[in-house]
A and B are shown apart, each in its own frame.
Chain A
Amino acid sequence: MISISGYFSDILGKKLTEAAREAPLDGVRFVIFDFSDCPVVNSTGLAALICACEVFQDEHHLEVGFCRMSNLLLEAFQISGMNQVGALFATVEEAKVFFGS
């Protein structure tokens, strides 16, 4: 599970992309992003999030879920099409159940 805290912009985005590439993901089946402490993801942050999800999905064949998002984030994900990249959940528990954890 990846908990994002604060303003998710280019700096955090870069770190996330790097971490996604370098992390040992053998045996992992899914990744859940928890946005409960993240009020806003800006354009560059969103682009980085897409890149990270591409790495998870295309290279490691992981499923991706996003949960506990503010209304603004939900709207931003809807507009940018991020809601097609991963499944959206109200709570972490819901996401875990969905992925069969």
Chain B
Amino acid sequence: MTETPQEQNLFAQLGSEKRSVLVSAIVQLAKVSSSPQALFRLRKLAESGDREVTFFAAQAIVKIQARLGQLPEATSAPTSLDRTALLAPLKEEVPRILAVIRQTPEQIPEDLEPVVAVFLGKHGNETDAPWLASHIEKLDSNLALPFMEALETVSPKALLPLLAALLGSVQPLVRCRAISSLRRIDPDEAEAHLSELLASRRPEDRLAGLSIAFLFPFPKVRELIFAILQEDRDPEVIKGCGTILVSNPEKENALRLLGLIDTADKAQAGRLSEIFRDLCRILGAAGIVPEAEARPEAMIPLWRKDRLKRFLTDLEVQIAVTTGPRRESMEAWLGKNIQLPEVRALLERLSLNPATDEMARNLLQKWAKDQQLAALASGPGQYSDEDKCQFLRKLDPQQYKTWIEWARQQAREASPTVRAAALNVLHRLDSSADDCTTIAEAGIGSGEPAVQVAAARLIEKFDPKRLIPLLPTLLGSQDGRLRARGIRIALQHDEKAALQALESMLGAPEPAIRANAVSCLFLFPVEKVTALLLKTLQKEDHSAIARQILVVLLSNPSMELLDKLDHLHSRSNPSVAMTVAQARMDLFDIILKLGLDGEAKLPVKPPPGPKAFILRGLGQSSTTPSPSGAGSEPETHEGKPFPAQKSDDKPYSVPQVRSAMRSRLSAEQQKASSETKSSGATFGNLNAWVLVAVVTASLAFMPTLFLQLVGTGGSVDSRPKAEAFDPRKEDQETIHHTEVPAGLRMNRMSRVTGKVKEVRPDGTLLFVFQEKTFMLERVATVPLLVGNEDVDVEMLPYQILKDGTIVAECGDLHVKKMMNDE
């Protein structure tokens, strides 16, 4: 019998490194397959020795055998239980098995318990609920799934008290099953949990979330999917997103995909294009769009007509805040479409923004040249700018007396590079305050960031107050150094005005102005702007700007901030809500990593009498206020409190579940930390440990440079850092530390230099970097290698094979240019 495409797809998933994908594939095969090939593969898995895999495979085998008409094997003795008898009992055997289970539950072998749960799900009743519930409580693996399914069948209400713990499970499939159950009693809360699950950057979480996304209203799921498509690189996740989009064919989605493809890097664009083509095909086949219009090439003019303006508005924000291959793709797109007047108008605007001016000017200049509308700038003069800069840098006080007028002239009217160098010389050697500040004030108005920075520095040297009228220019600059200086001045002289200006920028309807405002805010003391940023986040509808705001907040981590983010509700756009959810996870990771969760464990005042924090179940109201007055706080397993949640929250609400997950993670970190302590690997006073902050400047290039900086005098902790259990980064850290060379991360585009080991006939290429072999797929062109040259590779590693080889998608590959080639 030939396998169906669906079966072939599931067979491929049986080889996945992701446990949840493997388990899902086995469960799916049990539902759809009736092929001997499936039985063969499942039997191998059933003998794997892995308890979870064995159980699910055995269950699938029995179901497929039944579908094939194969009889179950002989049943066991009347007083005992066996797997086959439980999974496919003969009708007359059911009462006997039920009696054995109910009369002697303690004699059920541990490995048969999940199978018994399956049996009870089919043949049990409400009296079996306590046994099932007790097993769910003690299991934290995918083996909880059959117990959950059985309990939901025999007594749905008995599952309700367990939902909070299940929704916080580290097992994505268990979380998904719990969300599905919750959907029946509280769809809104279930939707919030789905959003939280999809916000996780762990591919397994996202894949599991996508598997139940079909159960939720598509308009909301669509926004989450587009948010994932913008950032996720995992091929399985992208494929999952594509499946949902293609299953809900809409012309609007095809147009949105086109926008994403145009600004994605090459590897990502390839994956998105596949989804786009499938979607076009379905749109035509389903008659949603006339077949002629549903062709991919026919969609492009439609996109230009309907979406270009909105796309360009978005691009103006995105390009200013994006780096790496994605920005290069955006630049390439602008260059390719510069013949459109709307694109040239955008480039004119970008040329006024210091973050994009050089790129925009270059593109416009090239366009002008191509069109023969303008001539190139004139050639160099007698001395190059570099010569002049070198000369200026070498001037000493004695020589400066001779060259003072020339240097001042250069500071007034030379090219930006020379002008900045001359202003720096004035800063270093000129003592005439009036002359210098006059020249510098002209420099501030030049619009050239390098000149403005040097000019501001010169004014600050002689008379900082003269910078106050120039604050709008300084604060509005895209140059970090200039803004830093402006903010320093503003904080000293007119902080209120600076904050007001920034607040007004943040409230601007134009996304580009808001993006600039956020970058201005970065160097303010965070306590001055946190409230403003949180307020802005609530109404921000652009996820890139929201992410910028969150990066500013995340860079100043604290438990207080985490608490504020927990209570922030973004109402404008589901993708922004997802960005906020990711930021919460990132912030908690940072807090755990830095040990800042101690903030919540240290009461402001020592509480007199009874403990300030009382141990209680989730969702119960507190009778003792927390010292900070923040309300009730659930405690960790070790009695350490975690941020307050509203006492009227449902026990399964997202904040409550999130709090429980954090408590568990923190407790695990505590446990790991105490184990480290007991192993005798600690030094000094451990109680003083709050964060490790050591700057070590080591001599790398010159014997004269040896900086050794030790931070937080007196509070340096020499004990080894305990590894926090962190499910979101578990995969990444394991791989980072044990298998993936430094400088690379799974599912992240990286550029490395190494050697080509072998070019294989199937077009893949074996590449060695830091003694690790990579199998590069989708290699566009294999370079001509004369010897054993180094090659530069841009790749996206996404899978580790059993022999340790890392499979990666190749973005770019070329022979490394040697220094002496030039």
With an 8 A cutoff between CB atoms, is B722 at the interface?
no
Q: Which of B480, B701, B750 contacts A81 (CB 8 A)?
A: B480
Q: Do B480 and A90 touch across chains, with their CB atoms under 8 A apart?
A: no
Docked pose: A96 CA to B43 CA in angstroms: 54
Most chain A CB within 10 A, of B480, B519, B752, is at: B480
Residues of B within 8 A of A30 (CB): 701
Q: Which of A8, A16, A91, A100 contacts B743 (CB 8 A)?
A: A91
CB nearest to A90 among chain B residues: B743
Q: Which of B479, B700, B753 contacts A32 (CB 8 A)?
A: B700
Q: Do B704 and A27 touch across chains, with their CB atoms under 8 A apart?
A: yes
Q: Do A83 and B323 touch across chains, with their CB atoms under 8 A apart?
A: yes
Q: Do A15 and B523 touch across chains, with their CB atoms under 8 A apart?
A: no
Q: Which of B523, B701, B752 contacts A101 (CB 8 A)?
A: B701
Q: Do B557 and A3 touch across chains, with their CB atoms under 8 A apart?
A: no
Residues of A within 8 A of B596 (CB): 7
Q: Do A43 and B522 touch across chains, with their CB atoms under 8 A apart?
A: yes
Docked pose: A8 CA to B594 CA in angstroms: 11
With an 8 A cutoff between CB atoms, is B288 at the interface?
no
Q: Do A2 and B697 touch across chains, with their CB atoms under 8 A apart?
A: yes
Residues of A within 8 A of B712 (CB): 11-12
CB nearest to A53 among chain B residues: B481
Q: Do A5 and B695 touch across chains, with their CB atoms under 8 A apart?
A: yes
Query: Which one of B370-378, B409-417, B686-694 is at the A interface?
Result: B686-694
Interface on chain B toward A: helix, strand, loop, or mixed SS? mixed
Mark out the residues of chain B between 442 and 481 whose CB falls within 8 Å of any chain A CB in the assembled complex. Answer: 449, 454, 457, 478-481
A45 CB, min distance to chain B CBs, angstroms: 8
Mark out the residues of chain B between 660 and 710 whose CB falls within 8 Å of any chain A CB in the assembled complex. Answer: 691-698, 700-702, 704-707, 709-710
* Contact A42/B555 with A15-B711, A79-B518, A81-B355 known, Cβ cut-off 8 Å: yes
Residues of B within 8 A of A82 (CB): 480
Q: Do B704 and A90 touch across chains, with their CB atoms under 8 A apart?
A: no
With an 8 A cutoff between CB atoms, is A74 at the interface?
yes
Q: Do A81 and B321 touch across chains, with their CB atoms under 8 A apart?
A: no
With an 8 A cutoff between CB atoms, is B191 at the interface?
no
Residues of B within 8 A of A81 (CB): 355, 478-481, 483, 519
Q: Do B753 and A58 touch across chains, with their CB atoms under 8 A apart?
A: no
* Contact A19/B555 with A25-B704, A81-B483, A101-B701 known, Cβ cut-off 8 Å: no
With an 8 A cutoff between CB atoms, is B366 at the interface?
no
Q: Do B323 and A74 touch across chains, with their CB atoms under 8 A apart?
A: yes
CB nearest to B716 among chain A residues: A6
Residues of A within 8 A of B323 (CB): 74, 78, 83, 88
CB nearest to B706 among chain A residues: A23
Contact flags B739-762 to A (C-beta < 8 A → 1, else 0): 000110000101111000000000
Contact flags B422-457 to A (C-beta < 8 A → 1, else 0): 001001100000000000000000000100001001
* Contact A79/B707 with A15-B695, A40-B594, A72-B586 known, Cβ cut-off 8 Å: no
Docked pose: A94 CA to B481 CA in angstroms: 25
Docked pose: A4 CA to B355 CA in angstroms: 27
Docked pose: A54 CA to B710 CA in angstroms: 21
Residues of B within 8 A of A59 (CB): 428
Q: Do B555 and A5 touch across chains, with their CB atoms under 8 A apart?
A: no
Q: Which of B428, B551, B702 contacts A79 (CB 8 A)?
A: B551
A94 CB, min distance to chain B CBs, angstroms: 7
Q: Do B551 and A75 touch across chains, with their CB atoms under 8 A apart?
A: yes
Mark out the residues of chain B between 136 and 174 whose CB falls within 8 Å of any chain A CB in the assembled complex. Answer: none
Docked pose: A92 CA to B783 CA in angstroms: 26
B602 CB, min distance to chain A CBs, angstroms: 17
Residues of B within 8 A of A93 (CB): 743, 753
Docked pose: A50 CA to B709 CA in angstroms: 17
Counting contact residues on chain A (CB < 8 A from B), the size range is 35 or more
Q: Do A40 and B321 touch across chains, with their CB atoms under 8 A apart?
A: no
Mark out the residues of chain B between 523 and 580 whose CB falls within 8 Å of any chain A CB in the assembled complex. Answer: 523-526, 547-548, 551-552, 554-557
Q: Which of B488, B557, B709, B752 contacts A90 (CB 8 A)?
A: B752
* Contact A26/B704 with A75-B551, A91-B742 known, Cβ cut-off 8 Å: yes
Q: Do B555 and A54 touch across chains, with their CB atoms under 8 A apart?
A: no
Q: Which of B480, B693, B701, B751 contacts A29 (CB 8 A)?
A: B701
Q: Do A40 and B523 touch across chains, with their CB atoms under 8 A apart?
A: no
Residues of B within 8 A of A85 (CB): 480-481
* Contact A79/B709 with A6-B693, A8-B693, A43-B556 known, Cβ cut-off 8 Å: no
Most chain B CB within 10 A, of A28, A39, A80, A90, is at: A80
Docked pose: A46 CA to B484 CA in angstroms: 9
Docked pose: A80 CA to B284 CA in angstroms: 46
Q: Do B526 and A6 touch across chains, with their CB atoms under 8 A apart?
A: no
Most chain B CB within 10 A, of A43, A68, A91, is at: A43
Q: Do B522 and A79 touch across chains, with their CB atoms under 8 A apart?
A: yes
Residues of A within 8 A of B694 (CB): 5-6
Docked pose: A12 CA to B481 CA in angstroms: 19
With an 8 A cutoff between CB atoms, is B590 at the interface?
yes
Residues of B within 8 A of A27 (CB): 702, 704
Contact flags A59-80 to B (C-beta < 8 A → 1, else 0): 1010000001001101110111
Q: Do B554 and A72 touch across chains, with their CB atoms under 8 A apart?
A: yes
Q: Do A61 and B393 touch across chains, with their CB atoms under 8 A apart?
A: yes
A76 CB, min distance to chain B CBs, angstroms: 5
* Contact A6/B711 with A43-B556, A81-B483 known, Cβ cut-off 8 Å: yes
Residues of B within 8 A of A75 (CB): 547-548, 551
| A1-B698, A61-B393 known, 14 other contacts, Cβ within 8 Å | A6-B691, A8-B695, A15-B711, A43-B523, A43-B555, A50-B523, A71-B748, A74-B323, A76-B522, A78-B322, A84-B481, A85-B480, A90-B751, A101-B700
A residues in contact (CB < 8 Å) with B: 1-9, 11-12, 15-16, 19-20, 23-30, 32, 36, 39-44, 46-47, 50, 54, 58-59, 61, 68, 71-72, 74-76, 78-85, 88, 90-91, 93-94, 97, 100-101
Please give me the 6 A-B residue pairs with the lowest Cβ-Cβ distance, nearest first: A81-B480, A6-B693, A1-B700, A91-B743, A12-B711, A80-B522
Can you identify 6 A-B contacts, CB atoms within 8 angstroms?
A: A2-B707, A3-B695, A28-B701, A58-B427, A79-B522, A81-B481
